[in-house]
Homo-oligomer: A and B are copies of this chain.
């Protein structure tokens, strides 16, 4: 075994709530691929493995985007067997930036569908 903590899965570094920076979060959400990941995660309402996300990029690029989201404090990742489960850090984000996540998700949804009202 290579780990020094037997019985425990490999650990991943996450920023503490107090370390989450607004600009980093905005930057994380400003990329179309990452915004899509966050949106999928929010709609699922539960933890999802990386393989469950429909992304238009390769696996290594996907890994990169997940790491950006994690290091910005947007998502929480934990190993579970061969998979890695991803969860939104809703409690932390809502505590730090009340309404931000909901507003961004709603805004994105309204832009996804053209839905012009003047038919």
Give chain A's interface residues, CB within 8 Å of chain B: 21-23, 26-27, 29-32, 35, 96-100, 103-104, 106-108, 110-111
Q: Which residues of chain B are within 8 angstroms of A32 by Cβ–Cβ distance?
A: 23
Chain B's nearest CB lies how many Å from the CB of A7? 34
A115 → B minimal CB distance (Å): 12
Q: How many copies does the complex hold?
A: 2
Contact residue among B30, B96, B103, B108 (Cβ-Cβ distance under 8 Å from A98)? B103
Q: Are B106 and A98 in contact (CB under 8 A)?
A: yes
A108: B residues at CB distance < 8 A: 22
Residue of B21, B98, B99, B103 touching A111 (CB-CB under 8 A): B21
| CB < 8 Å neighbour of A26 from B21, B99, B104, B106 | B104
